[in-house]
Structure 1
Amino acid sequence: MKSLFEGAVKFREEDFKEHKELFERLGQKQEPHTLFVGCADSRVVPNLITNTLPGELFVVRNIANVVPPYREAEEFLATTSAVEYALNVLNVRNVIICGHSNCGGCSALYLEESSFKKTPHVKKWLELLEPTRKKVLSLEPDTIAKRSWMTEQINIEKQLENLFTYPGVKERFLKGELGVFGWYYIIETGEVFSYDFDKHQFVLVEESPKIEQER
């Protein structure tokens, strides 16, 4: 913990001062241009991956970068409410759903029931990934490594499908009013692959597409 406290002091004395004007503007309101839905994995750092400053991304993180299908309920729907807020109150212009290599949530889909004795809520959460697991198994991957990257990528595709169940998202996307992107981040190489909706495959990001950022 000592390093974290030291980090807080360093931020105030160095990093904050460097961006003082930015933080003064952000102190009154936020206007992020992009909703970033990512995994809670400690190795996935949205602002680092995207090279963005505070105030640019509205970030939602959970195990395995899940966007639950839209539904209205009396329960506490954390991810659903955050996505809803980003789309309808903050009026973000883009949505990125970012999965990654070596995802523990995705690999947990194939664990034995006994593995979840101490994590019953994780087990319940992973039920949202059952369509992903079924799709991967139907393709019969012949190695564990192949099963892993197939699960991670297909899961991103499934979460994109879920995003389109939110009111108005598909319509805005088809009209070009909302950019929707599925990213697959390779931790050990720093590469990012973006889902091509026409080719139904992930393509290495090597240049910037037109993404709405200006207000």
Structure 2
Amino acid sequence: MTRIIQGFLKFRDKVMPGKKTLFQQLSGGQSPQALFITCADSRINPNLLTQTEPGELFICRNAGNMVPAPGGPVSGESATIEYAIKALKVMDIIVCGHTYCGAMGGLLQPEKVAGLPQVAGWLEHARELREWIDGPGAALPELERLNQVTERNVLLQLEHLRAQPAVAEALAEKKVRLMGWMYRIESGEVQIYDEARKQWACLTEVARQRMGQEIHTGEMPALCKPGGPVNY
């Protein structure tokens, strides 16, 4: 706790004065461009990863970057998604998984969460992955299996996201884009799911290509197409 309090004091005395104008503007409201759905893991820092300022990302975090499918009890995730689209008018929604995810480890090895009934119940939001886990994924080496189930979970949660009423409406009206990201803690790289090619690609390379197109055409193309099924 001492470290946390010292951090606040540093923010108040050294950081806040330099950002006074920004926070005065933010006191009047927010207008983030993107909703960033990611894991609660302490190793993930969305603003650090994207180098964004306060007010630029609307962030939703939980164990395993889950998006509960519609039809169940009202969740904080569904309320956050609805608010982001209907009230804040975000243009992009990113679902970001990460390597070495503990939630996905619990999904692969249920015995790890046997004494954590709330966690075990929460992981049911990825139950569709069990067919792969017990089938094709069963023969993979442990780390590869974890990486692949984490990637597949991002795609599954994108499917759940598309089924959310507010998202479905915004997609139909071409008002929002959905993106799947995979953050690699060990290297700092991000992979993005390319729906056209049905494969993961390095965001660094994709961004360079897109930036080149922007310079050439004057228009920045979408990194991911809105809508469309994915294979998880």
Task: Please give the alpha-carbon distance, in whole angstroms, between the structure 1 residues aligned to 2:168 and 2:180.
Answer: 15
Q: How much does 1:174 deviate?
A: 5.6
- The worse-fitting range, judged by mean Cα deviation, of 173-182 and 194-203 is 173-182
**Contact 2:36 2:93 (C-alpha < 8 Å) held by counterparts:** yes
Determine the structure 2 residue equivalent to 1:124: 121
Determine the structure 1 residue equivalent to 2:158: 160
Task: Please give the alpha-carbon distance, in whole angstroms, between the structure 2 residues aligned to 1:167 and 1:114.
Answer: 34
TM-score by length of 2: 0.84
Amino acid at match of 1:153: E
Query: Any stretches of 5+ residues in structure 1 without a counterpart?
Result: none
The answer to whether 1:51 aligns with 2:48 is: no
Q: Normalized per residue, which structure has more helix?
A: 2
Determine the structure 2 residue equivalent to 1:137: 134
Q: Deviations over 1:85-120 (max 9, x none)?
A: 111111111100000000000010122447422x11
- Number of residue pairs matched by the alignment: 209
- Percent identical residues: 34
Amino acid at match of 1:138: G
Query: Any stretches of 5+ residues in structure 2 without a counterpart?
Result: 211-219, 223-232
Determine the structure 2 residue equivalent to 1:172: 170
Amino acid at match of 2:175: E
Q: Which has the higher contact order (CA 8 A, sep 6+)?
A: 1
Task: Please give the alpha-carbon distance, in whole angstroms, between the structure 2 residues aligned to 1:32 and 1:19.
Answer: 17
- The worse-fitting range, judged by mean Cα deviation, of 8-17 and 99-108 is 8-17
- The worse-fitting range, judged by mean Cα deviation, of 180-189 and 11-20 is 11-20
Q: Deviations over 1:158-210 (max 9, x none)?
A: 00111100125245336542121100000010000001111111100122653
Q: How much does 1:211 deviate?
A: 7.5
Task: Please give the alpha-carbon distance, in whole angstroms, between the structure 1 residues aligned to 2:147 and 2:136.
Answer: 13
Q: How much does 1:51 deviate?
A: 0.7
Q: Deviations over 1:43-98 (max 9, x none)?
A: 01000111100000000000000011123x6x451111111111111111110000
TM-score by length of 1: 0.90
